[in-house]
Amino acid sequence: TMAPNVVDPPKNIEDRDIIPSFSRSESSIDENNLDKVESGSETKLIYVEEEWWQTTLQVLVPFLIAGVGTIGAGVVFGIVEQWEVYQNVSELFIMVPALIGLKGNLDMCLASRLSTQANLGNMHNYKIMMSMVIGNICLVQIQAIVASLIVALFAIGVNAAINGTFSIEHSVMVVAASMFTATTSCFVLDIILTMVILVAKRYGFNPDNLATPLAASIGDLVSLSLLSAIASVLYQNLETKIWINYIVISVYIIVLPLWLLVVLRNKFTRHVLKSGWVPVISALFISGLGGLVLDAAVDDHRGFVVFQPIINGIGGNLVSVQASRMATKLHQTTELGIMPTFSRIFEWPHRALFKGVPYAKTARILIAMSIPGQTVFIFVADAIHKSASTLDAAFVFTYLTANIIQITLLLYVAHIIIHAMWRWKIDPDNSSIPYLTALGDLSGSSLLLVAFIFLDSIGRPYDPQD
């Protein structure tokens, strides 16, 4: 096993400065992980090859849990779409993909940042670790407040443009529900993710394999359930107690400066607050386009909402694992702005996804895992939704084709985006996952709609009312 030079973790420096530097010859080593070995007063970082079965097992458990979460989200969506609030406030359908996608924009970025620091050995000091955790949680709360407001305004504006209707009461309710859902779900997920990362590293697991899938596992279900519950309560009291909506919005406006103060005083997060808005906001609008697809499909294709969270959630889940691992490896093997010798921005798809670059092994595992995983998930979702299994071979084949196209596209785009960001000195831990999960939402919804249209055209539609 080859090892870099001895690295003494520096003290009192910013998060972006605690990335160890390695020589160009060391950056070509085809390894996937670094472990710390302490010897006396010295701390050495050594490369440890992660076997394919270790990666598979570590990804499999959270992947299955994520599947349960996306199935739950699909089943819940199939129920709540009939609720009065969804029937009368169409902005909610436009808002759902972007609001659920906040877990990719915010929580998965937090997971990726902390996983990278854990793998680099920078979370062994309790004081530094707590500073990182508190700063990142407060940062996500700021992003959640601002992003949820943008999501709500986007949904209100698009609905007004498409349907030609506008209601100030509905608009205020949508903003309040969006802000409450985003901040609450992000806080719950961030606490869970932090615990998972610390426990994983303590017991020798790679947090890159565990944290981002677990962020997706309950993120969809928690966000959709919270949105549906709070929107329903606010809607029922809209005529008599509209002031509740104004109080909810006011509370978040009041606490926003407090979170800003905490984050700006935190050396690990202040630079992210200043530079991390472009990917978050851009991703929200990409996910918003997925919301338009959902809004267009929900009336014409019954059962669409049952499978939409599954294809979107699993696609975003798997590409986030790859993105987090790629970002960690780049941090471990070279300096920001310097391309590694083992990979380029533009690789041939077969090299990036099957055999060539070091990340291809993980890409193969993720693609292979998605096929049986998605098969099980759609059968379970269908059985729960209809109390019986009704899927035929045409639906399964068409759905899996859409899934394979989506996941291979996302993994290849991830390779390009992450390396391009690295070349231009943009930390992919902060910027790549929002774009990738948003593209997962848009591509998943679009490909699923194409699949439903194709099934209709051959006379084999999926109709849960049959």
457 confidence band (pLDDT: 50, 70, 90) = very high
Please give the average per-residue pLDDT across 416-422, as a whole number.
Answer: 94
For residue 14, the model assigns a pLDDT of 38
Q: Which of 69, 30, 48 lies closest to 316, judged by CA?
A: 69
**Residues 343 and 357 sit within 8 Å (Cβ to Cβ):** yes
Residue 59, SS3 per DSSP: helix
464 confidence band (pLDDT: 50, 70, 90) = low
Chosen domain end from 266, 296, 326: 296
Least confident of 6-10, 133-137, 162-166, 422-426: 6-10
Based on the domain organization, do 116 and 186 belong to the same domain? yes
Based on the domain organization, do 235 and 335 belong to the same domain? no
Least confident of 201-205, 399-403, 435-439, 444-448: 201-205
CA distance 383 to 388: 5
- Asked if the model's pLDDT at residue 277 lies above 90, the reply is no
For residue 49, the model assigns a pLDDT of 57
Query: Which residues constitute the domain of residue 166?
Result: 83-296
CA distance 157 to 263: 31
Higher pLDDT, 250 or 38: 250
138 confidence band (pLDDT: 50, 70, 90) = very high
For residue 312, the model assigns a pLDDT of 87
Based on the domain organization, do 281 and 425 belong to the same domain? no
- Asked if the model's pLDDT at residue 40 lies above 70, the reply is no
Burial letters for 78-110: b for 16+ Cβ neighbours within 10 Å, e otherwise? bebbeeebbeebbbbbbbbbbbbbbbbbbbbbb
Q: Where are the alpha helices (DSSP H) in 207-301?
A: 207-236, 243-264, 270-275, 277-297
- Considering the domain boundaries, does residue 217 fall inside one? yes
**Residues 128 and 122 sit within 8 Å (Cβ to Cβ):** yes
CA distance 303 to 461: 10
- Considering the domain boundaries, does residue 140 fall inside one? yes
- Considering the domain boundaries, does residue 89 fall inside one? yes
Please give the average per-residue pLDDT across 408-418, as a whole number.
Answer: 95
For residue 26, the model assigns a pLDDT of 35
Share of the chain above pLDDT 70, in %: 86
Chosen domain end from 233, 264, 296: 296
Question: Vertex 243, ends 238 and 249: CA angle to 5°?
Answer: 105
Based on the domain organization, do 423 and 327 belong to the same domain? yes
- Considering the domain boundaries, does residue 391 fall inside one? yes
Based on the domain organization, do 344 and 365 belong to the same domain? yes
Q: How many CA atoms lie within 13 A of 86 on its CB side?
A: 22
Per-residue pLDDT reduced to its tens digit, 91-118: 888 888 778 777 657 877 787 788 878 8
214 confidence band (pLDDT: 50, 70, 90) = low
Per-residue pLDDT reduced to its tens digit, 361-385: 889 989 998 999 999 999 998 888 7
**Residues 415 and 352 sit within 8 Å (Cβ to Cβ):** yes
CA distance 127 to 216: 29
Indicate the residue type of 210: L
Three-state SS string across 146-169, please?
Answer: HHHHHHHHHHHHHHHHHHCCCCHH
CA distance 240 to 292: 31
**Residues 114 and 123 sit within 8 Å (Cβ to Cβ):** yes
**Residues 151 and 175 sit within 8 Å (Cβ to Cβ):** no
- Considering the domain boundaries, does residue 64 fall inside one? no
Mean pLDDT score across all residues of the chain: 81
For residue 17, the model assigns a pLDDT of 36
Please give the average per-residue pLDDT across 204-213, as a whole number.
Answer: 72
For residue 213, the model assigns a pLDDT of 66
User: Which pairs with CB-CB distance under 8 Å and at least 24 residues apart come from 342-346?
Assistant: 342/27, 342/28, 342/30, 343/415, 343/419, 344/419, 345/416, 345/419, 345/420, 345/423, 346/416
Based on the domain organization, do 112 and 206 belong to the same domain? yes
Token pair recorded at residue 137 = 């949680």
Token pair recorded at residue 79 = 């129920």
Q: Say which DSSP state 49 is in.
A: P
The domain spanning residue 233 has which CATH number? 1.10.357
For residue 46, the model assigns a pLDDT of 45
**Residues 376 and 66 sit within 8 Å (Cβ to Cβ):** no
Based on the domain organization, do 287 and 346 belong to the same domain? no
Domain count, the chain: 2
- Considering the domain boundaries, does residue 231 fall inside one? yes
Higher pLDDT, 126 or 260: 260
For residue 283, the model assigns a pLDDT of 83
Q: Say which DSSP state 44 is in.
A: E
Higher pLDDT, 14 or 409: 409
- Asked if the model's pLDDT at residue 359 lies above 80, the reply is yes
For residue 465, the model assigns a pLDDT of 53
- Asked if the model's pLDDT at residue 21 lies above 60, the reply is no
- Considering the domain boundaries, does residue 3 fall inside one? no
Per-residue pLDDT reduced to its tens digit, 289-322: 887 888 788 778 888 888 988 898 888 888 888 8
CA distance 359 to 367: 13
Based on the domain organization, do 249 and 281 belong to the same domain? yes
- Considering the domain boundaries, does residue 14 fall inside one? no
Based on the domain organization, do 237 and 352 belong to the same domain? no
CA distance 168 to 170: 6
Please give the average per-residue pLDDT across 416-444, as a whole number.
Answer: 89
Cα dihedral 334, 434, 300, 381 in deg (nearest 10)? 70
